[in-house]
Amino acid sequence: MSSILWIAQAKPNPAGKDKTSYGSPKPEQLLGEWVDIENIGTEPVRFSTMKLFHTIFTDRCEPTGRTEDYWGDSGSASLSPGETLRVHTGMKKDDSLMSPADRGTVKWRAFAGKDRFVLNNRCGDAITVTWQDGNGKAWKDTASYHPNAPEGAVLRRAGGNMLVPAGAAAGY
């Protein structure tokens, strides 16, 4: 039996205009920024043990050595083997504004409830999911992407820990 999660794909740079004329992000844009966590193990993982983080960078795109909480859940449900959880940056109350492409076909969906973009496009980012297995042992997986991810592109895991646009080489 194994408890293995991995960051399968992410969409850090939604297509379209990021902000309204008032300067705040559009709710549908925030819902278009997301991360997919897939259970590739052989046992379920409780949502209440999962947390999602991303790396914080300086203005010069140097990692600070710190992370910021992206999402966590207190629910009692579990992500079963083969299932995927999609975590959207935006708010659940705006769910009706989500595009069909961002809705996808995943069984589980969660909302970080943020009113700002989280994933770093200018510097790239490292996204980490942590969880505990059935015995309480802590685990983690990290996936990264390069700066300036293409607008609207879904970045998929491509060998190692890199997320790249579909069909692109790891150095895109």
pLDDT digits (tens, 9 = 90+) for 80-100: 999 999 999 999 999 999 999
Contact (CB, 8 A) for 139 and 3 = yes
Q: What pLDDT does residue 149 have? A: 93
Tell me what percent of the chain is helix, strand and coil, each rounded to the nearest 5: 10, 40, 50
pLDDT of residue 168: 65
pLDDT recorded at residue 17: 67
How many C-beta atoms surround the C-beta of residue 149 within 10 A?
A: 24
- pLDDT attached to residue 131: 97
The helix/strand/coil state of 68 is: strand
Domain spanning 5-165, CATH class: mainly beta
Q: Residue 35: pLDDT above 80?
A: yes
The residue ranking higher by pLDDT, 172 or 134, is: 134
- Give dist(CA 102, CA 33) in Å, integer: 8
